Amino acid sequence: MKYSKYLPSRVGNVKWNMVVPVVISLIFLMILWQQLVRRSSPDSSLLMRSIPQSYYVPTVARDLRFPPARSRAFRCSDAQRVGQAATWRALLDSQEVSVNCADSVYLGFVREFLQEQAPVLINVGANKGYGIMQWLIAFDGSFGFSLKDAYTMYESRFKGQPRLCGVCQDCEEVPRSLSLLSHSGVNSTATLIRKPVIYAFEPAVNNSLVLKALKDMIQYPSVEIIRAAASNVTGKMYFTNCAAGQETCRLVAGAGKGTTVIDATTIDRFLQTRNIQKVDILKIDAEGYDPLVLQGAQSALALHKIRVLEFEYHEIEQWGAWRRGSSSLEEVTAWLDDLGYDCYLESAMNKVTKTGATLQFDLVRLTGCWDSRLEIRKWSNVACVLREELEMSMMFFKASRWLDLYI
């Protein structure tokens, strides 16, 4: 060593030729430890990825992009992938299958999975509250009100307002999945008395009044109505005014006639503020802005705080983040796959029997089985389940009976 003559041959009783290998070994171990910690933690890019300022304004949501998937779970064979897409899409095009008012078959799965546990449920875009009522009927065997009771009250309180029953005739009956528990293969726990905790987000002024009237009627302490929008940012936003019961109120880029300033938050911020560690169902109906709400929940999703996720998917040309050139179903489900979620498109098959027309509800698997024919851009709903919840994940998988034809 050129400068070795300036170094002492010993440090105390330790020779330099003994110290150097030890130091190098310690540095190597520190680097190895950092790599192991990084791999065992959620990808920081998923948690901390910055969102461009342009995303804050709904009118430029076309720029929104989701990162590509990396992790992998179950993967269809080519025969399964092509067969499911071709068969199901042909039935959809011939109107033998519908997607616009499909039953939330997963409710039965969640109920059986939780057993006696009281669920924590979040409804983004609660509208008239029929989703809240369905949850209370599903999870609390002692709940004494029906969907018809809510509709009768609405008719009395909000006379002359259109569509108080809902676009899908939500006031008519409880989803069949709650009574039939189709595909679950387990005993019903419908009579168990749970007390679900429900947080319902609704930014529309008149629909907030509808929800307040519903809460006054049912007197259910653990139902909380939150007059705010959920998005990918916190702050103030502009929202259109609409009549009580209307389902097309939406975010707009700026102030104008018939708009109101509302509060906006993210699901991540809300969960942090309330110290909520687990959400059993996050249901999103944001009139085309569902991808923004998903981005605002990415930390909760990455940390697996959400067991089941449902969001609306469609293409309304006038607005929204699902428009052509904006977010695609393929991108969003690939992103959720990377976070550990398996996603399914909810559908209903029109099946005629001797006693009349009935509906058979099924799930079309998207994760690991993607085909371009599934990018239908029609008004529909997608349900996703946390993959690590093996029992419930298998219930979803068994309900995807389109794959059975090609196994």
Per-residue pLDDT tens for 177-220? Answer: 555 443 444 445 566 778 999 999 999 888 899 999 999 999 99
Average pLDDT rounded to a whole number, residues 392-407: 80
CA-closest candidate to residue 148, choices 170, 126, 127: 170
Which strand (E) or helix (H) includes residue 276?
none
Task: Give the global pTM.
Answer: 0.79
Residues in contact with 258: Cβ distance below 8 Å, sequence separation at least 6, in sequence order: 240, 241
Give the pLDDT confidence score for residue 61 in this predicted structure: 34
Confidence tier at 320 by pLDDT (50, 70, 90): low
Q: Cite the beta strand spans of 86-202 per DSSP E.
A: 97-98, 120-124, 197-201
Burial (CB < 10 A; 0-12, 13-18, 19+), residue 355, is exposed
What's the CATH superfamily of 42-406?
Answer: Vaccinia Virus protein VP39 (3.40.50.150)
